[in-house]
């Protein structure tokens, strides 16, 4: 979303805002986060400039097509077009080629990143969080540079005018120069004019100048033309873009200046420049502002313009219209496993397959990432939209062959129709988006129509998300602690910290009721960090009390996103030092499903955490395949038998044999083994008989507060 409309131009008392803003140089701030834009507005408030804030590179390119700018502050990392791409396009345009660009990035730049930025046209870098005084000083200097440049250009313009006066009838190397008599007849044409118009000097001299500005050969009235008026009134005529019509040749677009001769001379000097290349470049920039650079499809900006146009036509003609919102299933896994270069090729090939599924009157766009959206015009019935969705799903069935990899692609599609699901761009897109998520919930590789019931569900989901955000701010989260007990002597051998949420006026909610939504909206990392902080604080308190010995670790659950977070080791190191906890007292627990062995960051994090002395626990053993390979590759300290396997033990001699062998293997490897989800005394006795040393579950003890835990277990 553009933020320029949120910023009122500053003006002095008694001075109209419009007049003031026209005199102020413009600083263009480009960032996809509104809070960053607002910070820059506040920092630059004291400077004599107007700050225009925009939320994407596409919007900035569109703005620069029509508005002059003195300084550009450009975020490097943005969805869609990043800062490097935007800078290159800005440098490719004549009007903005010399506009200074200051990159603002949220991460420390490597040398190659800095060199790339300079090659794209940046003059400097600032790293977030930046010093406000530094930014203000740099922008002040750039504004002064811009003012000096404008003064210099003004001086050059005056010199050009003098040159044109004294050398008006001399040959010009690049521009066309024509000398015209007071009655509109060409008296001189330099070589450039002859080349551009394809007319010889003999043909041009004596030719009526007015005929070059009209397609027909019919004589025109010179006396009423703007050029004759300019000659009589001694004024200059400027045309940034006009057409010349040389006889027998295609029309020639030019910029033109017509000046009366001075002194004893009578007549006009017409100077023109071929702007075909300029117009082509500007056309390309307009196209790039509407087109996805990777696939050649419409981008989000181009799609919005197209949908507004199509909606207007559908409203007038009373025709139906369909919107298909398509999201590739598990595309992140392809990027993580094979790299972003292969991911880009996948997106390009998917775009080609989608093109092949559509009619000539349909439109397709890539909104960013792995999201595509399709407009179906002249939709006779919703069945037609369903048929198109089926064709797309079928077209994506055959694996993509990229080098030696056969890549299977699946997609979830949400369908919204006009006018049933909405009458505006926003309402239709929201409806299609909601329907797409319903298709994902139903099992992926499906399509789903938007319904009123789904709208109610999305409103509930948004309300729930707001409650979860408030839970972080208002500290509604707390931990309960479930003991892990030795099955032979009853001794406490470990404790698992379990996250709970207490919404105001509602019952306590277990993590399983809200963790899926946290994973979906990205809040899982923040909740995980809060859980780590609460657990470390409690373990430090127990350490001071001397209540638990060093052989009793406190287990903290990690999500898949946390495990892939490159900042995880640093955050844990800070917590351990802040609370004075030996690393061996903390155990980090995760499911194998979170252990993406193709993700180098996950692998690096696990080995780094092991080297820090933290214990690592693999949870839910028996629910997935490949655990033994994990035990060999990673420094696992604890193996937890999953509840699903515990429930089937009594009726499965094969599972009993697996558990017995696992107990022997973990003893040999020095890995702690315990069973989770032990719900009955019979399960407890069977596990003990099979050689399982420890367990947790409601048969052992329910999750409890620190006070309840201390009352249940003594200090031994």
- Higher pLDDT pick, 192 / 289: 192
Q: Are residues 432 and 392 in the same domain?
A: yes
Query: At 194, which CATH number?
Result: 3.30.450.20
CA pair distance 320, 341, nearest whole angstrom: 39
Please check whether residues 309 and 434 belong to one and the same domain. Answer: yes
d(CA 577, CA 586): 12
Task: Identify the CATH number of the domain in which residue 336 sits.
Answer: 3.30.70.270
Residue that terminates a domain, selected from 421, 450, 479 = 450
Instruction: State pLDDT tens for residues 550-566.
Output: 678 999 999 888 998 88
Does residue 166 form part of some domain? no
My answer on whether 302 and 248 are in the same domain is: no
Could you say which DSSP state residue 433 is in? Answer: H
Q: β-strands 405-407, 122-127: how paired?
A: unpaired
Six token digits for residue 499: 């996250």
pLDDT category at 108 given cuts 50, 70, 90 is low
Query: Is 157 part of any domain?
Result: no
Query: For residue 18, what pLDDT band results from cuts at 50, 70 and 90?
Result: very low
Whether residue 460 is contained in a domain is answered as no
| Residue 13 covered by a domain | no
Strand partners of residue 252: 244
Axis-axis angle for helices 568-579, 600-611 (nearest 10): 20
Same domain, 147 and 222: no
Average pLDDT, the chain: 84
| Other Cβ atoms closer than 10 A to 174 | 8
> Does the global pTM surpass 0.85?
no
pLDDT at 258 over 50: yes
- What pLDDT score does 122 carry? 82
Same domain, 514 and 611: yes
Q: CB count, 10 Å around CB of 549?
A: 10
Pick 651 or 495 by higher pLDDT: 495
Q: Domain of residue 255: give its range.
A: 173-279
**The CATH number of the domain where 95 resides is what?**
3.40.50.2300
The answer, yes or no, to whether residue 623 has pLDDT greater than 80, is: no
pLDDT tens, position by position, 630-686: 777 888 899 998 888 888 888 888 888 888 888 898 898 899 999 999 999 999 999
For residues 615 and 567, state if they share a domain: yes
Give me the half-sphere count of Cα atoms (radius 13 Å) on the Cβ side of residue 677: 14
């Amino acid at each position: 979303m553009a933020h320029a409309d949120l910023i009122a131009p500053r003006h002095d008392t008694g001075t109209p805002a419009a007049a003031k803003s026209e005199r102020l140089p413009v600083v263009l701030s480009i960032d996809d986060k509104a809070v960053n834009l607002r910070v820059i507005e506040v920092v630059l408030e004291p400077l004599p400039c107007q700050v225009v804030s925009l939320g994407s590179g596409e919007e900035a390119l569109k703005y620069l097509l029509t508005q002059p700018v003195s300084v550009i502050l450009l975020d490097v990392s943005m969805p869609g077009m990043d800062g490097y791409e935007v800078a290159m396009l800005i440098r490719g345009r004549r009007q903005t080629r010399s506009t200074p660009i200051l990159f603002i990035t949220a991460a420390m730049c490597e040398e190659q990143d800095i060199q790339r930025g300079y090659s794209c046209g940046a003059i400097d870098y600032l790293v977030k969080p930046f010093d406000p005084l530094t930014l203000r000083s740099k922008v002040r200097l750039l504004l002064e540079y811009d003012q000096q440049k404008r003064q210099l250009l003004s001086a050059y313009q005056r010199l050009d005018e003098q040159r044109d006066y004294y050398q008006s009838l001399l040959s010009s190397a690049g521009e066309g120069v024509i000398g015209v008599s007071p009655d509109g007849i060409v008296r001189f044409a330099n070589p450039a004019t002859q080349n551009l118009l394809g007319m010889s000097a003999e043909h041009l001299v004596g030719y009526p100048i007015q005929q070059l500005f009209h397609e027909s050969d019919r004589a025109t009235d010179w006396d009423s033309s703007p050029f004759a008026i300019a000659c009589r009134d001694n004024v200059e005529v400027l045309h940034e873009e006009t057409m010349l019509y040389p006889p027998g040749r295609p029309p020639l677009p030019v910029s033109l200046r017509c000046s009366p001769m001075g002194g004893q001379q009578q007549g006009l000097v017409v100077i023109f420049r071929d702007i075909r290349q300029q117009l082509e470049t500007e056309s390309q920039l307009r196209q790039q502002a509407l087109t996805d650079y990777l696939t050649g499809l419409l981008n989000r900006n181009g799609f919005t313009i197209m949908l507004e146009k199509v909606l207007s036509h559908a409203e007038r003609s009373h025709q139906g219209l369909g919107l298909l919102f398509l999201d590739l299933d598990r595309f992140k896994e392809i990027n993580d496993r094979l790299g972003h270069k292969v991911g880009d090729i996948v997106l390009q090939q998917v775009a080609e397959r989608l093109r092949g599924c559509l009619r000539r009157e349909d439109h397709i766009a890539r909104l960013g990432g792995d999201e595509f959206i399709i407009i179906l015009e002249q939709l006779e019935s919703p069945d037609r939209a369903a048929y198109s969705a089926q064709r797309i799903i079928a077209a994506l069935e055959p694996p993509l062959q990229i080098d030696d990899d056969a890549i299977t692609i699946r997609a979830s599609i949400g369908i919204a129709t006009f006018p049933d699901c909405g009458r505006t761009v926003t309402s239709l897109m929201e409806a299609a988006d909601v329907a797409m998520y319903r298709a994902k919930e139903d099992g992926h590789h499906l399509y789903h129509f938007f319904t009123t019931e789904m709208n109610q569900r999305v409103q509930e989901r948004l309300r729930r998300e707001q409650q979860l955000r408030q839970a972080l701010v208002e500290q509604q989260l707390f931990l309960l602690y479930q003991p892990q007990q030795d099955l032979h002597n009853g001794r406490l051998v470990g404790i698992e910290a379990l996250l709970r949420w207490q919404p105001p006026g509602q019952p306590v909610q277990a993590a399983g009721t809200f963790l899926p939504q946290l994973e979906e909206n990205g809040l899982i990392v923040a909740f995980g960090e809060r859980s780590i902080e609460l657990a470390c604080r409690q373990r430090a308190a127990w350490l001071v009390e001397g209540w638990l010995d060093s052989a009793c670790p406190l287990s903290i659950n990690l999500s898949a996103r946390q495990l892939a977070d490159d900042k995880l080791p640093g955050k844990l190191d800070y917590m351990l030092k802040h609370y004075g906890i030996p690393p061996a007292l903390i155990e980090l627990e995760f499911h194998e499903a979170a252990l993406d062995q193709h993700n180098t960051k996950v692998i690096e994090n696990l080995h780094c955490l092991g080297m820090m002395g933290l214990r690592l626990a693999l949870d839910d053993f028996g629910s997935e395949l490949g655990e033994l390979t994990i035990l060999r590759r990673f420094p696992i300290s604890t193996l937890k038998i999953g509840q699903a396997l515990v429930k089937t033990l009594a009726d499965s001699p094969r599972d009993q044999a697996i558990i017995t062998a696992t107990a022997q293997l973990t003893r040999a490897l020095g890995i702690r083994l315990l069973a989770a989800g032990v719900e009955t005394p019979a399960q407890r006795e069977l596990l003990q008989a099979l050689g399982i040393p420890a367990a947790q579950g409601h048969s052992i003890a329910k999750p409890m507060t620190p006070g309840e835990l201390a009352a249940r277990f003594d200090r031994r």
